Structure 1
Amino acid sequence: MTSNALVAVTGAEGFIGSHLTETLVAAGYRVRAMAQYNSFSSYGWLETLSPDTLDQVEIVLGDVRDSGSVHDLAEGAEAVYHLAALIAIPYSYRAPHSYVDTNVTGTLNVLEVVRKLGIPRLVHTSTSETYGTAQTVPITEDHPINTQSPYAASKAGGDRLADSYHASFGTPVVTLRPFNTFGPRQSMRAVIPTVIGQVAAGEQVITLGDLRPTRDFLYVKDTARAFLAVGTAPAEAVVGRTFNAGTGGEISVGELTRLIGKLMDTNLDVREDEERVRPAASEVMRLVADATRLRDATGWQPGHDLEQGLLRTIEFFRNPANLARYKTGIYNI
């Protein structure tokens, strides 16, 4: 893929999508960025990017559930990065049809458009949640798929479609499976912004769900670089393959919360809120990545450790203008 080429990003207005857009522009690409259509004409986090970055970004409102929107987004692009998804696990218990519509049918629309337009590369986004609780550690890409929530099942459905399009039609798709990405701009639906946001808002009593699960937390800038790595690597190294992106380290939610309290110089009173606890059989208790395949194929490796990423995230949430965008006093589903 040549520098100054046009690439397309679905879900660009979101947390990871906005960071990926910045990373692509910094690498010399022009970006056509899809933000989900809404009556407020909001471009989400794209609105916070620097003017110099936005000079290289064409923002379009659309919806991956509509094939025409996807066609208009992708036409003329040398690569499509497909990040659009419904992501919140608790809400997937309430609205599973919505997850199938976006994460399965939306992915099908992207695959069809990429196939029909002959686009040279599609990077499809998976999630470590498709593995379920680790049966072996660290988790390689050969680990069994065990979907413990409607969200995870819908993402696995999209993954299987991506695999099938490569096998059936030779569609040049590569799947990236990030583990628990965190950083500035993340939704309060995730544990790290939940804790940091509450502390930044002056709270010392922190309400969370189960404190026992462990996760492999990957700083968002490193996740964005992983997308760029699989999007630009030689086709023979990546196309038709799935890659984990993670650090290989793990920490429990309870330990993580204590670490955040230390970094924010605050003594926290952590309490479990039953409303935030997943159904027992749906809770994924352990996730830790083996990213050897990604490193060997592309040379990628994380550039930030957990504390470095947390400090940058804390700095973001301590900015009053950023904190004002969040509702820290409620349970964000």
Structure 2
Amino acid sequence: MKTLVTGSDGFIGSHLVEELVCRGCHVKALAFYNSFGSSGWLEYLPSEVHNQVEIVFGDIRDADFVMNVMRGCQVVFHLAALVGIPYSYQAPASYVDTNVRGTLHVLQAAQTLGTDRVIHTSTSEVYGTAQFVPITESHPLRAQSPYAATKIGADQLALSFHDAFGAPVSIVRPFNTFGPRQSLRAVIPTIISQIASGNRKLKLGALHPTRDFTYVKDTVRGFTAIAEADTSVGKVVNVGSNYEISIAQLVQLIADVMGVHVEVETESTRLRPAESEVERLWADNSLARTYFGWTPHYVGRDGLRSGLKETADWFINEDNLKHYHPQRYGV
């Protein structure tokens, strides 16, 4: 099977490419065009995996390019997006262009080309602060950031193409995924990288919100399971661990895993606007079990601890840590 992964050069995308190659797929990996010729995290895949990947550079904001790159692909995993929430406050138009218009280009190309399946990537941020827990797929949507608004727009476009044109679209809605190769825009690598670089007084944002953290190996298994299940067409499916933990508790768990004592200093620059903070996320993943038998392997506190240990082991490797700047906060 020939597959295309957009956003393949990113965190989840690179892990998905690795999983698909291991499953015997022919993988075309779309990386964002840049003058350095960098394919992002794809460059750090094991050589036996990297050598089997067809890497293409381009931009999903270009409709003609998207049409051409999707030609001949049976399954498209659409992950390309702008995902940094703080930057969405500063440049919301770029999020509309990439997340909404880019998704439209993928859907239109799939319709024209007769693509067998499109797996569109959503986010738990579309739910906003939980109105009930655990959060099912029927939970109301509330955009508390421009990023979330564009992801809701992209999700609704995908569903509209299914309803209006019968497009074979499925929507995977990951909760807070973590693991090796994640950027410092996320809280877990922010904590781990500061500790790994020798800091014991951590600089973080809000500590009271709760999240449902899902290890990246579980997340990419969710992607492949959705792609294989005809019952997921036209559906939105949560991929989450069904375990809730506060950021404050998370800090202590990571410190325990890494064998250190830490203190936390809250920096105002790392805080979201008060009404924009998503206070609580906790996934109900029963639909994934019902539709295609997916369940997380990293379950509960022990599973989270295991995933954190694997992530910390990766970050403390100097060859990996050198790619990060833990003392520098950037949106």
- The residue type paired with residue 40 of structure 1 is F
Alignment partner of 1:24 is 2:20:
yes
- The residue type paired with residue 7 of structure 1 is T
Which residue is 1:89 aligned to?
Answer: 85
| Contact 1:29 1:56 (8 Å CA) reproduced | no
Alignment partner of 1:105 is 2:101:
yes
Task: Provide the C-alpha distance between the structure 1 equivalents of 2:22 and 2:93, rounded to a whole number of angstroms.
Answer: 37
Aligned with residue 271 of structure 2, among 268, 277, 291: 277
- The residue type paired with residue 262 of structure 2 is L
Which residue is 2:155 aligned to?
Answer: 159
Shift of 1:240: 0.3
Alignment partner of 1:329 is 2:327:
yes
Question: What's the secondary structure of 1:34's corresponding residue?
Answer: strand
Task: Provide the C-alpha distance between the structure 2 equivalents of 1:210 and 1:244, rounded to a whole number of angstroms.
Answer: 25
Which residue is 1:295 aligned to?
Answer: 289
Which residue is 1:47 aligned to?
Answer: 43
Count of matched residue positions in the alignment of Structure 1 and Structure 2 = 327
Question: What's the secondary structure of 1:221's corresponding residue?
Answer: helix
- The residue type paired with residue 332 of structure 1 is G
Task: Provide the C-alpha distance between the structure 1 equivalents of 2:140 and 2:263, rounded to a whole number of angstroms.
Answer: 38
Shift of 1:189: 0.6
- The residue type paired with residue 59 of structure 2 is D
Question: What's the secondary structure of 2:56's corresponding residue?
Answer: strand
Task: Provide the C-alpha distance between the structure 2 equivalents of 1:169 and 1:277, rounded to a whole number of angstroms.
Answer: 42
Task: Provide the C-alpha distance between the structure 2 equivalents of 1:319 and 1:179, rounded to a whole number of angstroms.
Answer: 27
Which residue is 1:308 aligned to?
Answer: 306
Aligned with residue 143 of structure 2, among 137, 144, 147: 147
Instruction: String of CA shifts for 1:278-315, please: whole Å, max 9, x gaps.
Output: 11100000000001111111111111210010000000
Question: What's the secondary structure of 1:25's corresponding residue?
Answer: helix
Question: What's the secondary structure of 1:255's corresponding residue?
Answer: helix
TM-score, length basis structure 2: 0.98
Aligned with residue 183 of structure 2, among 183, 187, 190: 187
Which residue is 1:256 aligned to?
Answer: 250
Task: Provide the C-alpha distance between the structure 2 equivalents of 1:54 and 1:262, rounded to a whole number of angstroms.
Answer: 35
Shift of 1:69: 2.0
Task: Provide the C-alpha distance between the structure 2 equivalents of 1:324 and 1:101, rounded to a whole number of angstroms.
Answer: 32
Which residue is 2:239 aligned to?
Answer: 245
- The residue type paired with residue 82 of structure 1 is H
Aligned with residue 130 of structure 1, among 126, 131, 145: 126
Task: Provide the C-alpha distance between the structure 1 equivalents of 2:46 and 2:266, rounded to a whole number of angstroms.
Answer: 39
Task: Provide the C-alpha distance between the structure 2 equivalents of 1:51 and 1:182, rounded to a whole number of angstroms.
Answer: 23
Identity among equivalent positions (%) equals 54
Aligned with residue 316 of structure 2, among 318, 321, 326: 318
Question: What's the secondary structure of 2:8's corresponding residue?
Answer: coil
Task: Provide the C-alpha distance between the structure 2 equivalents of 1:328 and 1:271, rounded to a whole number of angstroms.
Answer: 14
- The residue type paired with residue 281 of structure 2 is L
Task: Provide the C-alpha distance between the structure 1 equivalents of 2:159 and 2:266, rounded to a whole number of angstroms.
Answer: 40
| Contact 1:37 1:62 (8 Å CA) reproduced | yes
TM-score, length basis structure 1: 0.97
- The residue type paired with residue 202 of structure 2 is I
Task: Provide the C-alpha distance between the structure 1 equivalents of 2:27 and 2:141, rounded to a whole number of angstroms.
Answer: 33
Which residue is 1:266 aligned to?
Answer: 260
The list of structure 1 runs, each at least 4 consecutive aligned residues, that deviate by more than 6 angstroms after superposition, is: none
Task: Provide the C-alpha distance between the structure 2 equivalents of 1:301 and 1:114, rounded to a whole number of angstroms.
Answer: 29
Shift of 1:102: 0.4
Which residue is 1:169 aligned to?
Answer: 165
Instruction: String of CA shifts for 1:95-116, please: whole Å, max 9, x gaps.
Output: 0001000000000000000110
Shift of 1:41: 0.3
Alignment partner of 1:211 is 2:207:
yes
| Contact 1:126 1:175 (8 Å CA) reproduced | yes
Which residue is 2:3 aligned to?
Answer: 7
Shift of 1:55: 2.6
**RMSD between superposed Cα atoms in Å:** 0.6
Shift of 1:72: 2.2
Structure 2: 5+ residue stretches without partners:
none
Task: Provide the C-alpha distance between the structure 2 equivalents of 1:157 and 1:66, rounded to a whole number of angstroms.
Answer: 18
Question: What's the secondary structure of 1:224's corresponding residue?
Answer: helix
Shift of 1:73: 1.9
